[in-house]
Amino acid sequence: MTDTLIWISGASSGIGRALAATVPWSEARLIDISRRGAPGAEHVEADLSDPSSWPVVGESFGRELEGFSGERVVFVHAAGTIQPIGFAGEVDTGEYTRNAVLNSVAPQVLGHAFLAAAKEVDAHRQLLMLTSGAAKSVYPGWSSYGAGKAAVDQWVRNVGAEQEERGGVRVVAVTPGTVDTGMQEHIRQASERDFPKRQKFVDLHERGELANAETVAKDIWTLLDAGLENGAVIDLREVTDP
């Protein structure tokens, strides 16, 4: 019998992949939601920038949680994109649309689908969204990314309050810091014209100051059991390096 059931969106790369590699519970069953798939995990193939893929994810939640009698259920939503980097009004409209849908709408609808499927489950249930400092700080070139993360933060605050009222799922958002992943490579590859603050990220990389994805992943798993308030939006750096 599976004791712990975990979905990670975006476990094929970066922080999601590191989370998949560092799951702290031995009896865990792991399901990745991405386009490429993740080593050692079951795979729900989905392009989450396309809303027609979302019911497939919802069906996975529903199917696996029906009759689930283990102790813990977790959904970590890590899938996200920084692309296209560039100014609104200048970037490709199709890419911009996919960014907006993936970063802003998908977390809300997939979060809703998880809560609906987990409603009757008698287990410790947790939903964690990866967010970013870009939800609050201004980064020209990242308008849709920042807006998406701000939407995630406010969704988590509201839904955390709702789940406190009834539902009982623990809902939190975590900013991981600046982490050495493919997303950071894309940022360094951008032009100054499309991303005027690019040099800051080049400097962080050159100084070896990007956080290691596995270290971050282990800290995120530890944080999940730290008794966080429902609806909390947390910067991992403030918790691990106060």
Closer by beta carbon to ligand NAP, 112 or else 188: 188
What does DSSP assign to residue 84?
S
Which x/- pattern, by CB under 6 A, does the window 174-213 give for ligand NAP? -xx-xx-xxxx-----------------------------
Closer by beta carbon to ligand NAP, 85 or else 121: 85
Stretch that binds ligand NAP, among 41-49, 62-70, 108-116, 120-128 (CB under 6 A): 41-49
Q: Report the residue from 132, 144, 163, 230 that binds ligand NAP according to the rule CB under 6 A.
A: 132
Q: How far is the CB of 94 from ligand NAP (least distance, A)?
A: 13
Closer by beta carbon to ligand NAP, 68 or else 139: 139
Q: How far is the CB of 142 from ligand NAP (least distance, A)?
A: 10
Residue in the block written with tokens 């990314």: 145
Rg (the chain; Cα; Å): 17
Closer by beta carbon to ligand NAP, 70 or else 177: 177
Distances (CA, A) of 72 to 29, 41, 152: 11, 17, 23
Q: On the CB side of 63, how many CA atoms lie within 13 Å of its CA?
A: 9
Strand 4-9 with 124-130, pairing: unpaired
Q: How far is the CB of 179 from ligand NAP (least distance, A)?
A: 4
Read off φ and ψ for residue 123, nearest 5 degrees.
Answer: -155, 170
Chain residue whose CB lies nearest ligand NAP: 14
Stretch that binds ligand NAP, among 34-42, 65-73, 110-118, 156-164 (CB under 6 A): 34-42
Nearest to 233 by CA among 178, 169, 160: 160
Q: How far apart are CA 8 and CA 148, in angstroms?
A: 19
Nearest to 16 by CA among 232, 222, 213, 235: 213
Q: How far apart are CA 41 and CA 61, in angstroms?
A: 15
Q: How far apart are CA 41 and CA 47, in angstroms?
A: 17
Q: Are 220 and 128 in contact (CB under 8 A)?
A: yes
Closer by beta carbon to ligand NAP, 46 or else 234: 46
Closer by beta carbon to ligand NAP, 7 or else 68: 7
Contact between 8 and ligand NAP per CB under 6 A: no
- Give the interface with ligand NAP as residue ranges (CB under 6 A): 10, 12-16, 34-36, 46-49, 78-81, 102, 130, 132, 175-176, 178-179, 181-184
